[in-house]
Structure 1
Amino acid sequence: MKKRRRLMVVGLSALALVAAGLFGAGMYFYQVAVVPAPKTFLAKDKPIKQSNPLYPAHKWYQSVSKERWYETSAGQNLRLDANYIPAATKTNKTVLVAHGFMSNKDKMFAYAYMFHKLGYNVLLPDARGHGDSQGKYIGFGWPERLDYDKWIKQVIKRNGNNSQIVMFGVSMGGATTMMVSGTKLPRQVKAFVEDCGYTSANDEIEYQAKQLYHMPVVPRFPLVDIVSGITQVKDGYNFKEASSLNQVKKNHRPMMFIHGSEDQFVPTRMVYPLYHATKGPKELLIVKGAGHAQSYEKNPDLYTQKVSQFLTKYVK
């Protein structure tokens, strides 16, 4: 009896140690993935030199007149911040540009420049927890989808019921764009363009853990699930529900998918199930030789041409 009791105590102690270790690992990965802070695994921004294809866009963005727009987040009453750049000629066409993980509105200058040249008003919000917006966590596009619904309604209120709205995003912003596509939206939303978004937060975090720590296998259960559970308790959402794939299955509006052929951050293979899942008119552009979020920089003329041709069909 005493021996059995000792074995039980030893077993329970071992389980407690394992549980404590897993929780500690979960808290570590939560800090890496969900808390807004400098990330060592992200490439540092480099100065934009005159030889860089993005230089004209950068120079334009520094000097162009911008309006400051504000919104309140869905659910937590966070103050959200955005730059609004009216088109050179008055128009009812507006594009909302969603940035990526630990990026901000100002870093989306190249896309603002592209859409400005295409004749659009451009709205560039900072996601919650990024840039000048309030927030203490990264939502991977899931809570942000409801924030963008509010931005869309603000565009309609300010620019009129005849507004024609396009949603565009890169990386996490691409995932946000796809997540928005699966929500109930006003008729003024005409099309979506997503660039290198992931299939789900679960998939992307699991993939990144393998890449960052050179692990052949990252157990979604229990490790990723523990991080997801911590996020649910602290921030009110979980990685399983943050699924671009599930959201595009509900979409019937036109959507263009763009991905670099050499993307090692959000692997190129993720775009194919997303492309096949959407129910609306669609187009897929794979930019040869482009890494993550580098498709425009790699071939700005092709990128602009394809985006313009796609949107012209649906935004008049």
Structure 2
Amino acid sequence: MFKKRWFKVGVIFLTVLLLADVFASFYFYDLAIKREKKEFLQDNDDLVVSREAMDVFVSGGWREWVDNQNFEYWEMKSFDDLRLQGYYLEAEEPTNKTVVFAHGYLGRARDMGLYGEYYYEDLGYNMLSVDLRGHGQSQGDYIDFGWHSRLDLVDWVNRLVDKQGEDTEIILHGLSMGAATVLMTSGEELPDNVKAVIADSPYTSVYDLFDYQMGRMFKLPSFPLLDSTSVVTKAKANYSLKEASALKQVKKTDLPILYIHGNNDEFVPTRMTQELYDNTNSEKQLKIFDKSSHGEAFAIYREEYIETLEQFLNEYMK
């Protein structure tokens, strides 16, 4: 009798835990992955930027520059039938060099105008900046953190080659989620026209990022909640959190990669870029900017960033 009672209590307790885990998994899916407004990031101390960087992000001249450009609006159907939006700007002087940009989480293509102005005005590159699926004017009801977008970028690259010809040379440049996206793309089959990758503030995998953020933001252990959230993500968005790995992809690539990160980054820890760098088998470079938070380096160390970038590009672009 006594054992039966405790058995029933144990079953009830485990059932409650299971239901709580299922409920929490759907909650965290909606919180981070479902396409909707993300209010939880508004007061996130890890995303607080310096006043110097904020001035550049909010009121920098690059915003006016973007508004004044005559972008071509490109549309493309993804492998899973989503309408994707891109913005192409042909250089003022004919060139075979093009940069393809990938923006960060909750961002959009125009955000990369911060970098695009330099590539276009100073280097004379063509540029293509795209709204990643689930962002901007591109379709998608979930955020893939780069995993499905890697295949979209392959398609964008192939479209560029079709437009510009076989002698075109392409650079992939991504920031934060966009950095992870271009790294994931680097492990796919790409035309030889893609010469190198610039990854600014990337994460190793979606699972690793969520593991870090779950402990930092919610003071929760990753197991079992993160694993069950991954199951929900697989069911609703067709990818798992461990599957979406930049780390696995850079082990396969033969493209040169320039890694950039700030050593004050508490949103995507700097150690992730170090781990990516250590596991990259192709030619690679690493630049860590002192006292720089997440994605701030170009804004507050512009000259040093450009010097690093130009040295890299001069080595791998003809």
TM-score class, shorter:
over 0.9
Cα contact 2:173–2:198 (8 A) shared by 1: yes
CA distance in 2, matches of 1:168, 1:242: 19
Paired residues for 1:45-64 under 5 Å: 52-53=55-56, 55-64=60-69
Structure 2 gaps of 5+ residues are none
Structure 1 gaps of 5+ residues are none
How much has 1:3 moved relative to structure 2?
4.7
**1:139 maps to what in 2?**
144
- Describe the SS at the equivalent of 2:41: coil
Which of residues 224, 237, 250 is equivalent to 2:226?
A: 224
Which sits farther off after the overlay, 192-201 or 260-269?
260-269
- Describe the SS at the equivalent of 2:265: coil
- Describe the SS at the equivalent of 1:110: helix
Cα contact 1:99–1:172 (8 A) shared by 2: yes
Which of residues 109, 113, 118 is equivalent to 1:114?
A: 118
* TM-score, normalised relative to structure 2: 0.92
**1:202 maps to what in 2?**
207
- Describe the SS at the equivalent of 1:221: coil
How many residues in Structure 1 have an aligned counterpart in Structure 2?
A: 309
CA distance in 2, matches of 1:148, 1:31: 25
Which sits farther off after the overlay, 125-134 or 33-42?
33-42
- Describe the SS at the equivalent of 1:186: coil
- RMSD between aligned residues: 2.0
CA distance in 2, matches of 1:166, 1:102: 23
- Per-residue CA shift, 1:94-150, capped at 9, x if unaligned? 111000111111111101112112121111111111000000001011111111110
CA distance in 2, matches of 1:69, 1:287: 35
**1:101 maps to what in 2?**
105
CA distance in 2, matches of 1:206, 1:295: 25
CA distance in 1, matches of 2:216, 2:246: 21
CA distance in 1, matches of 2:193, 2:297: 28
Which sits farther off after the overlay, 193-202 or 278-287?
278-287
**1:20 maps to what in 2?**
19
Cα contact 2:215–2:222 (8 A) shared by 1: no
What is the letter of the counterpart of residue 123 of structure 1?
L
Which sits farther off after the overlay, 31-40 or 13-22?
31-40
What is the letter of the counterpart of residue 304 of structure 2?
L
Cα contact 1:192–1:254 (8 A) shared by 2: yes
CA distance in 2, matches of 1:112, 1:43: 26
Residue identity (%):
38
How much has 1:11 moved relative to structure 2?
2.3
Cα contact 1:253–1:279 (8 A) shared by 2: no
* TM-score, normalised relative to structure 1: 0.93
- Describe the SS at the equivalent of 1:30: helix
CA distance in 1, matches of 2:227, 2:175: 26
Cα contact 1:94–1:121 (8 A) shared by 2: yes
**2:294 maps to what in 1?**
292
Change (3 A) 1:43 1:97: farther
Q: Does 1:38 align with 2:37?
A: yes
Which of residues 81, 87, 93 is equivalent to 1:83?
A: 87
CA distance in 2, matches of 1:310, 1:62: 29
